[in-house]
Amino acid sequence: MSGQKIGIVGSGLIGRAWAMLFASAGYRVQLYDILESQVTTALAELRKELQQLESKGRLRGELSAERQYALISGCIQLEQLVQDALHIQECVPEQLELKRSLYAQLDELLEPQTVVASSTSTFMPSLYTEPLKRRSQMLVAHPLNPPYFIPLVELVPAPWTNTEAVERTRTLMLALGQRPVVLKREIQGFATNRIQYAILNEVWRLVAAGIISVADADRVLSDGLGMRYALMGSLETAHLNAPGGVSDYFQRFGGEIAAVSATYGPTPNVCAESETLAEIARQCEQLVPLEALGQRRAARDEFLTRLSELKRQLP
């Protein structure tokens, strides 16, 4: 399928990342934005970024940075973007009304072979595709930032999404070297944020109860659970942690899991518990002052880059 055309709507942070991923696998990429200046800036930034990745030996794919860049072009007409597109990746800001109006426009222009995937982190696809003629060709393909170094993509169908559209998107993501997971049906928060919020809720409760500091609660993940989770998930971890595998694990530890789970208490109201939030912010800012956030993000991205390289060497 490489060589075919991919359309990207929205040339911000995530749109640019997708452009690099598709070009790395040899697809022709067209970037569309409502602002012409945004497209021009995006193309210039992409060229710089591809060259930097190449000079550090971190460029993905077989093609040189210049050849990958040559596969990417810009446009400011949606009509032009949809023409002959195999796949369109939507990356406009996270505003429901904006997504609704864009999808209504796309609905009038889409060709029958094109699948449209949204990068949305929060909106279930039924929220903005229900009334559309071509809704069976639409789904969510949610990446994690930075997508160039974090391979997960969550594929989330609406109740009317065609199974072929899901399967085609899954195959396309694999061709990019990403790791798609498929939800059988849509659910608020998809899988990633549901699991992430379960962790945030419990960390919040432990800090609010004065049981652990912010630094130590985060260390439980970064120096403990996260070390394993970078390689395998919670169920495989359980499978490996009992001589008879996962059934044995839940038989041995099920009672303890249920007993601890019964003590969690209600879901914290993180918007309203302002005292706890102030305390968490105070401790976080002691660890990383606001003016050092940029530096800390850069360190995280550098680490993620190396981790993704390491993971590629593992079976």
Q: Which residues bind ligand NAI (CB under 6 A)?
A: 9-15, 32-35, 38, 91-94, 98, 102, 119-121, 142-143, 145
The smaller minimum CB distance to ligand NAI, of residues 30 and 119, is found at 119
In the complex, least distance from residue 81 CB atom to ligand NAI, rounded to whole angstroms: 9
Residue 154 or 214 with smaller CB distance to ligand NAI? 154
Peptide bond into 151 cis (omega under 30): no
The residue among 41 and 213 lying less far from ligand NAI, judged by its C-beta, is 41
Helices (H), 56-162: 65-70, 78-82, 96-109, 126-129
Q: In the 8-state DSSP scheme, what is residue 267?
A: P
Nearest-angstrom CA–CA distance, 20 and 25: 9
Smaller CB distance to ligand NAI: residue 45 or 164?
Answer: 45
Q: Do 59 and 32 meet the contact criterion of CB atoms below 8 Å apart? A: no
Burial class of residue 5 (count of CB atoms within 10 Å of its CB; 0-12, 13-18, 19+): buried
Contact 160, 136 (CB under 8 A): yes
CB of 73 to ligand NAI, least distance (A): 16
Give the shortest CB-169-to-ligand NAI separation in angstroms.
15
Query: Minimal CA–CA distance to 94: which of 15, 172, 37?
Result: 15
* Nearer to ligand NAI (CB atom), residue 63 or residue 91: 91
**Partners of 74 in the beta sheet?**
31
In angstroms, give the least distance from the CB of 132 to ligand NAI.
Answer: 16
**78 vs 207, beta carbon nearer ligand NAI:** 78
Tell me how far, at minimum, the Cβ of 165 lies from ligand NAI, in Å: 19
CA 265 to CA 281: how far, in whole Å? 23
Task: Give the shortest CB-219-to-ligand NAI separation in angstroms.
Answer: 24
**Beta partners for residue 153, in sequence order:** 143, 180
Considering beta carbons, is residue 136 or 192 the nearer one to ligand NAI?
Answer: 192
User: How far apart are CB 64 and ligand NAI at their closest, in Å?
Assistant: 26
